[in-house]
Amino acid sequence: MSTFALLFLVTGLALIGALTARVRAVAFRRGSSRRFSSLPSHHATYVALWTLLPALLFLIVWSSVTPGLVTDMVIASPLAHDLPPPGFERGAVLGQARAIAQGQAIAGANPLALRLAPAYAAVQARYDWMATALALLLTLATGAFAYLRVKPDFSARTRIERVVMAILLAASLIAVLTTLGIVGSLLFESARFFQMVPATDFLFGTHWAPQVIDPAHPGAALGAVPLFWGTFFIGAVIAMVVAIPLGLMSAVYLSQYAEPAVRRWMKPILEILAGVPTVVYGYFAALTVAPAVRDLAVALGFRFASSESALAAGVVMGVMIIPFVSSMADDSIAAVPQSMRDGSLAMGATVSETISRVLIPAALPGVVGGVLLAVSRAIGETMIVVMAASGAATISLNPFQSATTVTKQIVDLLTGEAEFDSPKTLAAFALGLTLFVITLLLNIVALTVVKRYREAYE
């Protein structure tokens, strides 16, 4: 039985268990004047959870363990005696055999994969039936256990709250453990990199050429200062020059000048920019903005201007983060007490003077927090830089010149054919760790500023 069909069957059994538990709870409440601790719906939910959750957990564990067991059994079969030694080629053959066994058509498949596909299908079918039997047995057992506990003095409501609390705790732990796993992987691989390349060469070196690494002195070609400069120049200078004025002015207009009907339409339209996929921005930057920037550079006298420039990527990135600045500034301005506005206007100040000398200074902590959050979003952007910026690592103040960023180089390093243990590949983890630390610090500073702002005006 397929996994989807099995889940559908288990869910149906859980629904049946909930209905029968509700009928039983209604039956023992009928004609009784005593006060019960749980409603019939609580008993039904309790039985449904006990019927469904254990089977779901079992299927999750089973689906994560089964592929390895199936592969081991196929490798141990006589048909697999011609398999190549462990490595990429063996993995490719086994992957093709698994895909063919699942009904996918593989053009030019390896003959050995074609021979192993029936064995894969047979072993997988055997494990699927085992999963079906065990899941149904577990569902019936846990459902019957929960159903037998439905009694007048049973507090199903309390048990449900405990289950919900456990689910919420598990979700929180998954988020925390995922973050710890990411940080741990970055630290581990970065430590391996810094065993090969001195940290001073990486953090303070000004030459970045991972394609021509000298095995005797790899740090000479892995100086990341040009990458840090490109990231700062594109994401924190050019993008902010675009995003801060436009975002702040749009926030001022929407909060102070726009009619309610206009604001009701304009604010959601502006915030749609935050939901546009970054690859769409990348296409826009590569096909529309970059040629225009190149033509502008040629008109200004830069004869050999390239379409892959820091200005093209930075402008589009600035447009992308306008909603971050605008939304935060709008909320900050709206949170300024009305008495400060009325006092300024009562003293004879105009609306523009009230905005520039009262509202914006009072909302400045929130605006700064929004800007810092936008900066952290910009310097971590990948697709726009990959599609619009260059891979040339340079240190220049010329916005028409090619530049690259940390994220662009991480993509280039991890999509090449270099060995995983080489300094070139491990440099991607060191760059990722550096970017993670920078964005973490920016977020901490931004959240600290916003918190102080909220405490001042709540």
In tens, the pLDDT along 85-133 reads: 666 666 777 777 777 777 766 666 677 777 777 778 888 888 888 888 8
* Residue 86: per-residue pLDDT: 66
With vertex at residue 179, the alpha carbon angle to CA 178 and CA 183, rounded to the nearest 5 degrees, is: 115
Report d(CA 95, CA 100) in Å as an integer. Answer: 9
* Residue 81: per-residue pLDDT: 67
Q: How many residues are given for the chain?
A: 458
* Residue 33: per-residue pLDDT: 65
Residues 201, 219 contacting (CB under 8 angstroms): yes
Instruction: Quickly count helices (H) and strands (E) in the chain.
Output: 19, 0
φ, ψ (nearest 5 deg) of residue 222: -125, 40
| Structure token digits, residue 199 | 């940290």
* Residue 107: per-residue pLDDT: 61
| Structure token digits, residue 424 | 């070139």
Burial class (CB in 10 A: 0-12, 13-18, 19+), 136: middle
* Radius of gyration from C-alpha coordinates of the chain: 30
Nearest to 236 by CA among 409, 376, 392: 376
| Structure token digits, residue 432 | 């990722």
**Which H helix or E strand runs over 343?**
helix 338-346
Residues 311, 238 contacting (CB under 8 angstroms): yes
Amino acid at 127: Y
> pLDDT tens digit string along 372-418?
888 888 888 778 887 877 777 888 888 888 888 888 888 888 876 66
Distances (CA, A) of 265 to 259, 261, 262, 271, 428: 10, 7, 5, 10, 43
* Residue 352: per-residue pLDDT: 84
Give 269's Cβ-side CA count (13 Å radius). Answer: 8
Q: For the chain, which ranges sit under pLDDT 70? A: 1, 31-34, 79-90, 104-109, 416-418, 450, 453-458
